[in-house]
Amino acid sequence: MSKPSRRPSRQNRTSLNPQNLPNYQRRQPARALLTLIFIPVLVCALAAWSHPQYRVTLWVISTMLTIGALLFSSLSIEVSADTLRWRFGPGIVRKQVDLKDIASVEMTRTTWLEGWGIHYTKRGWLYNVSGRNAVLVTQKDGTRFMLGSNDVIGLWEALQNRIG
């Protein structure tokens, strides 16, 4: 017996009213990034303990790395009836786009050179904390950006069902 699908079938997708769809919400933790930041923080803490003359400098570096890790500890994406929102960590770094301004969405993979974080690439802005799967969003004004996700199919379907 096959498992029932949570997603609407292709024939039912066109009859869905975007206002009646549940909000899509997904949080992607940045495990690899946190691990990579933990190592230098640990080295700085141990060095500060064993070299008192550099203690202040090493504690400042450790504190800055820890704050950066907290700010980018995860990427949360929400698709509501009329808005696409995303935020990093606790939400100090966040953005949103009205769904009416989106022309198209497509699933893509980032290159290893494009990496993680927030930066401009040849395909537009990239917002990512882990992995290489992303959704490329093209706005009606031609602006493009990529949102990294550990549920790229679910994110793509949520956007596609709402923008038509």
Domain enclosing residue 108, as ranges: 24-164
In terms of DSSP bridges, do strands 144-148 and 124-128 run parallel, antiparallel, or are they unpaired? parallel
Where is 34: in which H helix or E strand?
A: helix 31-50
| Residue range 102-119, pLDDT digits in tens | 999 999 999 888 888 889
Q: With H, G, I as helix, E, B as strand and everything else as coil, classify residue 94.
A: strand
Which pLDDT score is estimated for 112? 85
Q: Give CA 159 to chain center in angstroms.
A: 15
pLDDT at 45: 84
Joined together, the tokens standing for residue 7 give 């997603």
Closest CA to 143 of 101, 95, 108: 101
32: Cα within 13 Å, side-chain hemisphere: 9
Of 105 and 2, the structure prediction assigns the larger pLDDT to: 105
**Inter-residue contact 13 to 161 (CB < 8 Å):** yes
What's the structural domain count of the chain?
A: 1
In-domain check, residue 7? no
Asked if 78 contacts 94 with a C-beta cutoff of 8 angstroms, the reply is no
CATH classification of the domain holding 164: 2.30.29.30
Q: Mind listing the pLDDT tens digit for each residue in 66-103?
A: 998 899 999 999 999 899 999 999 999 999 999 999 99
Within a domain: 10: no
In a domain, 73, yes or no: yes
Model pLDDT, residue 19: 63
